[in-house]
Structures are given as C-alpha cells and as structure tokens.
Amino acid sequence: MFPVKEIDLHATEIYPGTQSVARAIALLKAFSDAQPEWSLNELAQATGLNKTTAFRLLSALEAERLVMRNPLSGGYRLGVELIAIGGTAMRSNPLRAMSRPSLVTLAEQSGEAATLEMLVENYVLVLDEIASSNPMGMTQDVGNRLPLHATATGKVLLASRPDAEIDRLLSDPLEPLTEQTIIDRARLKAELARVRQEGIAIAVGELEPWFTAVAAPIMDRERQVIAAISVGGPSLRLTADRLPTIAAMVQMSARQISRQLGYWPG
C-alpha cells in the first residue's frame, strides 16, 4: 500500500566550525517533560560536555532567554524565548497551514479530535490539533512528543521506514503505557506489516486506557510518507463498529492533503 524508501534521515554529518552551536543545541534537547529542570552537573554529564563548557554555553543561552534558572535551586529550565520562537515555528509551518482545512473538515465529519503529526528524532510530534466538537476532547497538546509504538500515527510513520531504521527508532524495551500497549517487538512488527498493506493504523487503549485513535499517512510528490493524520477520542465513543467509517474518513482526508502536496496516486 505505501512505499518504504531508504533515505538518510540521520544526516548528522558534522559541518566544520559548528561545534559550539551543536553543543548548545544538545543542551536544549536534553530538557523534557519528564525532566524539565537540570543542574549544571547533570546537564554536563547527560550531554558529555565539560562542566565549564556547559556552564559557558548555558550562560549564553540564558542571556538570550532560551534558558532560565530556578532562583531557589539554581537549576536550569527552558526559557520563555523558546515559547515565542516555538510559536512562530508552529504558525509558520507550511505543512500545518496546508493541512489545516482538511483537518477541520475531518474533525467536523467525525465529531472527534483530529491531529497532524510527524516523525521527529524518535518521537511523534503533534503539529496540529483540532479539538472535538463533542464534549471531553483530548487535552491540547500541539508541540507534544508522543511515543512511536503506542500511537496510531506512530505506527503509520514507523511502517513507512525500512526495517533497520525501525529498530533504531524504537526504544528497547518498548515501554508499556497501558495494559494494551504493544511491548512485544515481533507483534509490533507484524502489526506494522499490516499497516503498510492497509494504509491505516489503529490504536485502542495503547497510549491511554480510555483513548482510541485511527491514523493514515500523508505523502509528498516523491511518494514519501512525511506525516500522518489521525482522529481520536474516548474508546466509549469510538466503538468497533464506527471504526471502519472513521478509517475511511481519515484516509480520504489524508489523500486530499497528499494531493495538495503533489502526490499523485497510481
């Protein structure tokens, strides 16, 4: 159903004369929801930097407000300037702008929340989200990172990658987020094969116990899968009998967006 092309995603080649910038970025990337505050030593250790170097780089980041310090603990946190720059990055993202109308329609049609997500590093990044018109929509999490193996979109994006890369992308072991999360690699691989064939992925209670989602791939003119869209909501509403209908809606929207990107089926 959809192609698996070998493309060098790990373009981590080192440009000469960019060491300090690369290191500063590594520092920024260390911060996460799980650990939003770091001490200097922790950061130096996690990034493999000399303590003095980390300190100097962090001072530069702090002066520009990309990083701030907890006045009580002295710990480092991401700064407000990143909220501003991140907001600009989000609003100016071309894929997001292009997909939005279809996503809105999809949310209306389905009556559930619709999202646009893509593969970044080894996570799924939520690029856009249209809240459900029905009450009890998902939490607002544009800009959030979600695990690849426990999301419908993650499965779609994984399925589009060659096998060797899938192994690189998946955490080991697969973290169980709910009872339903697939933690057996072989079973996940089998599921991915099915996703590849059918062009649709489903996750029932795999990310959160109450949550079900259906996802389909977005492809560009080179027939590369560059993103995925999904419809998701409470499993009580997205019941088994509704899933085929919803899957069809998601696929139709996905094709519509893909076509706008220059993709031509056939």
200: Cα separation from own chain's centroid = 17
Residues 47-86 that bind its own copies (CB under 8 A): 56-57, 59-61, 63-66, 70, 77-86
**SS3 of 132-197:** CCCCCCCCCCCCCEECCCCCHHHHHHHHCCCHHHHHHHCCCCCCCCCCCCCCCHHHHHHHHHHHHH
Q: Which stretch binds its own copies (CB under 8 A): 16-24, 186-194, 231-239, 251-259?
A: 16-24
Residue 173 touches DNA, criterion: CB under 7 A: no
Residue 139 touches its own copies, criterion: CB under 8 A: no
Q: What is the rounded distance in angstroms from the CA atom of residue 43 to the CA atom of residue 24?
A: 11
- Residue 230's closest CA among 134, 160, 156, 150? 156
- CB-wise, 54 or 228, nearer to DNA? 54
Residue 171 touches DNA, criterion: CB under 7 A: no
Which residue type sits at 196?
Answer: R
Residues 106-125 that bind its own copies (CB under 8 A): 118, 120-121, 123, 125
Min dist. Cβ of residue 266 to its own copies (A): 23
Pairing of strands 113-120, 76-78: unpaired
Q: What is the CA radius of gyration of the chain?
A: 20
Candidates 74, 87, 101, 162: give the one binding DNA (CB under 7 A). 74
Residue 56 touches DNA, criterion: CB under 7 A: yes
Q: What is the rounded distance in angstroms from the CA atom of residue 61 to the CA atom of residue 77?
A: 11
Kindly list the residues in this chain that would bind its own copies in the complex (CB under 8 A): 11-13, 15-18, 20-22, 24-25, 28-29, 31-33, 36-37, 56-57, 59-61, 63-66, 70, 77-94, 118, 120-121, 123, 125-127, 141-145
Kindly list the residues in this chain that would bind DNA in the complex (CB under 7 A): 16-21, 23, 39-41, 49-53, 55-57, 74-75
